[in-house]
Chain A
């Protein structure tokens, strides 16, 4: 009995550890959407995103987006902390921002969000699960100008 109880407890703890964030989102995603650059031009952009959840509950989001002119390339690299429902640390590169570990946010079964600021930049990333699709919105504000992308992903 004691043994069974130990098994049940560890199973419960394990589910609690990685049962929250973006359930079943692990894998490769490809998306299309729009990017609103600092220069004010709205571009058609395409993105790739890799999602993986570790045993500890930590979520890794790695992705990049590009527009046709090649002048902008959002390269996303985000890692949550291992504590469920609380997200820390992230990096949005290609524009030079590296803000780890000052980001914080939340995550649950269908959503993941991260907000933070570094120097004169403020960045936020929202990822929502809609059935078999993911929607990610990222915003960066710098010097009063904003850069925003809104992309809908499908599994690739």
Chain B
């Protein structure tokens, strides 16, 4: 009997170990399936158009532009640079390059300075003229045509060539390589060529999305392992914190691949966040396990699991609520982000709560009491206790800070910059920077004109009617192509007779015409918004809004992204209200709900206020990051509330002090781990990912301070029994 009693715990441990190995074997099989799905079907998509998908008028007009005319967004832009295009040999080489590029298989035509018509006779301005030198020809071009400044720099060292591909998919890699060979051969080493503009930016983004995941994930795991290892001076602790979270991310990516959700620039934020949140949840489990072991609980793993299951589930729920609000913005890409976020968080919570104990068993953690976290993590707590003893002053200060943050939230201006979607220090961004001050750039904006008389083709009357509309945009190089108008149109036997280069200006039904407007691809958020407004207002002021509109990807982004940001800001407020309501229900206290609202709204909206103070616009990534940051930030408050709920001290001040003592270190450690994990975003190739990481890290830092300096004062001030 005595022998049987002594064997019972041993057999229990063996049984637990067997179940743990069984669970890990199941996880391994699932990981294998996920990896196969990832390798075979996971798609990366850098298309900005997809990001802007919605049922708005602007998106509808853009879709119409893409389908009724040639798909302009597939036009390639070639930047040619040399010492002086006015030199006879350079000019001849440039001309030959432009011609030869048009002969590359897959190219329909090319627009360059050679395409600019003479306002006098409509014939090319740079037509063969043996009497004039190239420099004189270019000077005349500059003098008589507004469009020239958009295509060739004043100092004649750079010029743009717009290449129209045959396929809407753009120019093939082979064709682009052939263009490079042509420039090298005909330019005789005096020219450099770079593809810039949106198609090139997409190609770079496409590759960077995959590269980013392959680079950042290992960095984040290593950083988390290192930080956890340093904090707890235990490799086992570090492995326990990171391994289940890593499994969760792999399974999440597998699910993304299986359901066919593409990894876009915005969804690429999710895997890293899921990983880091999984790690912080495991950190709380590890610390609870350490406490349970220290208290010599009979089943420390179960005890630790019971202590963290509820706050971990709640914290997953609050972040899922933040993601869920993205679905209400009305933008397809945001709905995909909501789906990805909710899926990822659900999966990660399930994986962490089921595999965490299994890893603890396998790593034999209950048998080996892990060391305590370093003392310095608890250093701010003494100051925090002293500060929150000021009671009403702290609450008063919090309310003032909340008011200021809310003011910042209302005052900050939404804006969009293409910078967010170009690779950091990528060739496209560098080339666009070189263009600044020399050429207008490669931004995609177009003036779409309705046929005035409703009869297909530009008659003389049509030309006259549209002239004042076009004149409004003359400064941006807008010019009606006379070659397809008036008598010339009448002479054309049918639409197919229009040369391919001019065909692009006429819709399929020949009842609409489109003129490119030269604007920069990369502008500050404020300039982009100002430009979009200015272009639309020109038409409204002149009363032409019914006969013409401005469209194109750059214009769409400038109009739609601020609308998206406004919707995201509303979603942020909804997240705050829903999470507060959840806390009120769970804690059964309006006051505690208010306390959590104040402690977490100040850091998040405070960042918005900082944007407003520094006169920076709130971008799409910023709005997404702040909403998610609130969902994440509230987690530490929930851990604090959870601890406050189970403290048995009668005096509220004593209960708060004990809660702070018990939870202060874990939330400091989780904040350090979260920041370490997300700090790797600064190595991202995508500016949006780096911005996201910076904003979430900043919010987490402020949220930690609010949790230890402000929240305790609210808890201590609460009247009545603890929930």
Contact = CB atoms under 8 A, between A and B. Distances in A.
Interface of A: 39-48, 64-73, 94-96, 119, 143
B367 interface: no
Q: Which of B100, B126, B494 has the most CB of A within 10 A?
A: B100
Nearest to B497: A96
Nearest to A40: B123
Contacts of B542: none
A39 B484 CA distance: 13
B115 A70 contact: yes
Given A41-B127, A143-B491, A67 B499 contact: no
A145 B479 CA distance: 27
B96 interface: yes
Interface string B369-387: 0000000000000000000
B124 interface: yes
Contacts of B103: 46-48, 64-66
A42 B127 CA distance: 8
A68 B114 contact: yes
Contacts of B114: 67-70
A46 B128 contact: no
Contact of B102 (A41, A44, A66, A143): A66
Contacts of A43: 124, 127-128
Given A41-B123, A43-B127, A96-B494, A71 B499 contact: yes
5 contacts: A42-B128, A66-B110, A70-B115, A73-B501, A94-B499
A72 B103 CA distance: 12
Contacts of B110: 66, 70
Given A66-B102, A70-B98, A73-B109, 7 more contacts: A46-B100, A66-B103, A68-B124, A70-B115, A71-B124, A96-B493, A96-B497
Nearest to A75: B500
Interface in B96-125: 96, 98-100, 102-103, 109-112, 114-115, 123-124
B95 interface: yes
A69 B115 contact: yes
Residue among A41, A69, A94 with the most chain B CB within 10 A?
A69
B98 A68 contact: yes
Closest 3 pairs (CB-CB, A-B) = A68-B114, A66-B102, A69-B124
A150 to B, nearest CB: 14
Contacts of A68: 95, 98-99, 112, 114, 124, 126
B502 interface: yes
Q: Which of A47, A72, A96 has the most chain B CB within a 10 Å cutoff?
A: A96
B128 A73 contact: no
A72 B114 CA distance: 12
B496 interface: yes
